[in-house]
């Protein structure tokens, strides 16, 4: 991680990372929509076991990086809840439901 020499430099670095985070979340969101095409039921769309795996992997990664796993769980919960809703809408629009 880069060592910054001023508050402005810190903020500039944060601003760049925030944009990258949003771009990654956007890419994730587009992938989630594609998943609907490979599913047959609403239970498949929700895939609770897969959510548990994703959450556990995210928590483990947070712990390995020394950041609070509960913060990551909270962020992922908001993100996944929203994305599953989007996938359900995509699934319904596909006419399979």
Ligand X SMILES: C=C(O[C@@H]1C=C(C(=O)O)C=C[C@H]1O)C(=O)O
Closest distance of CB 71 from ligand X, Å? 18
52 class by beta-carbon count within 10 Å (0-12 exposed, 13-18 middle, 19+ buried): exposed
Closest distance of CB 95 from ligand X, Å? 19
Q: Is 87 in the site for ligand X (CB under 6 A)?
A: yes
Question: Torsions phi, psi of 41, nearest 5?
Answer: -135, 165
Cβ distance 92 to 45 under 8 Å?
A: no
The 10 Å CB-count burial string (b at 16+, else e) for 28-50 is: eeeebeebbeebeeeeebeeeee
Q: Is 83 in the site for ligand X (CB under 6 A)?
A: yes
Closer Cβ to ligand X, 11 or 57, answer by number:
57
Of 3-62, binders to ligand X (CB under 6 A) are 32, 35, 46-47, 50-51, 54
Closer Cβ to ligand X, 49 or 65, answer by number:
49
Residues that bind ligand X (CB under 6 A): 32, 35, 46-47, 50-51, 54, 80, 83-84, 87
């Amino acid at each position: 991680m880069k060592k910054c020499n001023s508050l402005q430099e810190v903020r500039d670095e944060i601003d760049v990372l925030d944009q990258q985070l949003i771009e990654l979340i956007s890419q994730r969101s587009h992938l989630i929509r594609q998943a609907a095409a490979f599913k047959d039921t609403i239970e498949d769309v929700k895939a609770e076991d897969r959510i548990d795996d994703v959450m556990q992997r995210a928590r483990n990664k947070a712990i390995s990086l020394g950041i609070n796993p509960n913060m990551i769980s909270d962020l992922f919960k908001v993100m996944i809840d929203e994305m599953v809703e989007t996938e359900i809408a995509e699934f319904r629009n596909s006419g399979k439901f």
